[in-house]
Amino acid sequence: MRYYIADLHFCHDKLNDRMDCRGFESGEAMNEYMIAQWNSRVRKQDEVVILGDFCMSKKVDVANAILERLHGKKCLIIGNHDHFISKPGFDGSHFEWITHYRELNDNNRKIILCHYPVMCYNGQYRRNAKGEPKTYMLYGHVHNTYDEYLLNEFQNQTRACKRSVLSKDGKEEELTIPCQMINCFCMFSDYVPLTLDEWIEVDRKRRAVIKREDYI
């Protein structure tokens, strides 16, 4: 099984009362909760793609110790705060791979992976026979800030646009754009890594109730 999650920010104590307002008593309490949530779902043979900003500690041995405790085969899409991977003493064997960008297949669907949202991503026009998106763009970075509201507005406008295309029988038809960008922010899943199908459902429900006033 493959799971995805973004912006865990292990050891980032300030996120408990700023920006995310996660509400834990301490950074240590936050770390322990996130490790427990991760391990409640992930098993040894599972794969987890971390979409950036995994750990904020300046001590590489702390990052190594956290990675050692997390179940599964871990893969890292590098975020702007993942400085620990370039420090002496970092044990890269904790990850199957580390990169800034990757494209994968997940149950016959193409997945675009990047820490930063890519608004014009490879394959965003592609549909299956049912008219569903064949490509999904998974991102992090923006947490649940006003930037996430703006991205939601962009998706709504893009999905409302129509373009003329030729069908297989040569007839012209108008189709909407199946833009499908999913923010895998850890707080949206209570810090539990989710499958693509689970993220699709979480994203659908969350975006249905997004209001501008919630982000001002």
Per-domain residue ranges of the chain: 2-215
Q: Tell me the average pLDDT across 4-23.
A: 95
Q: pLDDT band at 139, cuts 50/70/90?
A: very high
pLDDT at residue 169 above 80? no
Distance of CA 106 to the CA centre of its chain: 14
Q: Tell me the average pLDDT across 101-129.
A: 95
pLDDT at residue 29 above 80? yes
Whole-angstrom Cα distance, residue 160 to residue 182?
A: 18
For β-strands 135-139 and 181-183, DSSP reports them as: parallel
Q: What is the 3-state secondary structure (H, E, C) of 152-175?
A: HHHHHHHHHCEEEEECCCCCEEEE
pLDDT at residue 165 above 80? no
pLDDT at residue 216 above 70? no
| Domain spanning 2-215, CATH architecture | 4-Layer Sandwich (3.60)
Q: What is the pLDDT of residues 46-103, one digit of tens each?
A: 999 999 999 999 899 999 999 999 999 999 999 999 999 999 999 999 999 999 999 9
What is the model's pLDDT at position 183? 98
The per-type count for the chain, helices as H runs and strands as E runs, is 4, 10
Query: E strands, 55-186, where?
Result: 73-77, 95-99, 101-105, 110-114, 135-139, 162-166, 172-176, 181-183
CA angle 43/39/26 to nearest 5° reads: 165
Q: Write the Ramachandran bin of 93: left for phi over 0, alpha for psi from -120 to 50, otherwise beta.
A: alpha
As given in the structure block, the two tokens for residue 213 are 């006033």
